[in-house]
Structure 1
Amino acid sequence: MKIRTEESERHTLSILVDNEPGILARIAGMFTARGYNIDSLTVTDISEDETVSRITIVTSGSPHVIDQIIAQTERMPPVYKVTDLTEIGPHVERDMALVKVAGTGEHRIEALRLADVYRARVVDSTTESFVFEVTGNSDKVGSFIELMREVGLVEVARTGVVAIGRGKEPS
């Protein structure tokens, strides 16, 4: 008898919540308590009166685990809505990183060439280093960072994924 294991899938969740102290800690605590991993987490205020925030969480799990995460998150006050952007279909995801690279000579030239290929912008430059800004999907940003390791990567600061559904309806 063959035991079937469910494949782990990456999902991007958009969670609308009251903008109040402690809500992020409660949601992150729910993930921790149940052994769910958070690959990326971003939070921003989305209302004019600063009362509602969007938490974007990228996580992985089997379809059953993702369903559990959504159900448990929806039950948490003050959560208004949980949307699995991966399930609803077309959506836009972006990640941004600031990447500091040091080098001279050929390493410096190669860093600039790679930045051009990845459409990374130079946002700071000295005679010995660059800080690049690269934006795109997580795979693109990760690939750029990996290539910079070979030419003098010093430091990375990364935002995490932000995402929104396509079309005229709110996600």
Structure 2
Amino acid sequence: MHITQQTAERHVLAITVDNEAGILAKIAGMFTARGYNIDSLTVADISENHAVSRITIVTNGPDHVIDQIRAQLERLIPVHKVVDLTEAGPHVERELALVKVSGTGEKRVEALRLAGIFRAKPVDTTTASFIFEITGAPEKIDSFIALMRELGLVEVGRTGIVGMMRGAEGA
């Protein structure tokens, strides 16, 4: 008997919602109740009158599970729109991270040199440490963090992924 295992694919979901108390808890609760994992989550007000927010969720699952997630999200009352950026076509993803590195001497010089290559900006400096601000694709940030581990990584804070469709049309 041949069993086909469905591969879990990474999906970036952009969800437009009314900016009201409890909506994030409803969405997170829906994921939790059904055993879906959230890899990244960002939320921000996107309207001038503060009435609408955009939630970006990165999750993994086979296509039928992602379709089920989308359908369940669309049924929630304060949800206006759910777009799977991964399925919709070319899109841009970015993330911001603060990366604290301690070290002196050659390790300090090397951390600063690598930060320049990655276009990470020092936003705080002491004689024994740096805090770098880096933005870009998640893979770029992962690579920078991996290199900083070898040089004295102390702490990392990441915002989570935000994404947007390419071109003149909105999501």
Matched, 1:81 2:81: yes
**What is the DSSP-based 3-state SS (H/G/I as helix, E as strand, rest coil) of the residue aligned with 1:11?**
strand
Q: Look up the equivalent residue of 1:166 and give its one-letter code.
A: R
Separation in 1, partners of 2:113, 2:67? 44
- SS of the aligned residue for 1:32 comes to helix
Q: Which amino acid aligns with 2:131?
A: V
**Alignment pair present for 1:148 and 2:148:** yes
Q: In structure 2, what is the Cα distance between the partners aligned to 1:147 and 1:26?
A: 38
- Tell me, yes or no, if structure 1 residue 27 matches structure 2 residue 14: no
Larger mean CA deviation between 110-119 and 55-64 belongs to 110-119
Task: Quote the Cα distance in structure 2 between the aligned partners of 1:23 and 1:142.
Answer: 30
Q: State the identity %.
A: 68
Counterparts of 1:46-85 in structure 2, within 5 Å, are 46-85=46-85
Q: Deviations over 1:76-135 (max 9, x none)?
A: 111000000001111111011000100001110111121112111111111110010111
Structure 2 unpaired stretches of 5+ = none
Matched to 2:170, the amino acid is P
Structure 1 gaps, min length 5: none
Deviates more, 1:12-21 or 1:116-125: 116-125
CA RMSD of aligned residues (A): 0.7
* Alignment pair present for 1:4 and 2:12: no
Match of 2:42 in 1: 42
Distance in 2 of aligned mates of 1:91 and 1:129: 36
* Alignment of 1:97 onto 2:97: yes
Tell whether 2:87 aligns with 1:106.
no
Q: Distance in 2 between matches of 1:147 and 1:28?
A: 33
Q: Report how far residue 68 of structure 1 moved.
A: 0.6
CA distance in 2, matches of 1:112, 1:48: 39
Give the secondary-structure state (helix, strand or coil) at the position aligned to 1:13. Answer: strand
Deviation at 1:13, TM superposition (A): 0.3
User: How many equivalent pairs are there?
Assistant: 171
Q: Deviation above 2 Å: which 4+ runs of structure 1?
A: none
Q: CA shift at 1:55, angstroms?
A: 0.2
Structure 1 residue aligned with 2:17: 17
User: C-alpha separation between the residues in 2 aligned to 1:138 and 1:37?
Assistant: 18
TM-score, scaled relative to structure 2 = 0.98
Distance 1:50 1:166 in 2: 25
1:157 aligned partner, one-letter code: G
Separation in 2, partners of 1:58, 1:66:
11
Q: TM-score normalized by structure 1?
A: 0.98
Q: Which residue of 2 aligns with 1:128?
A: 128
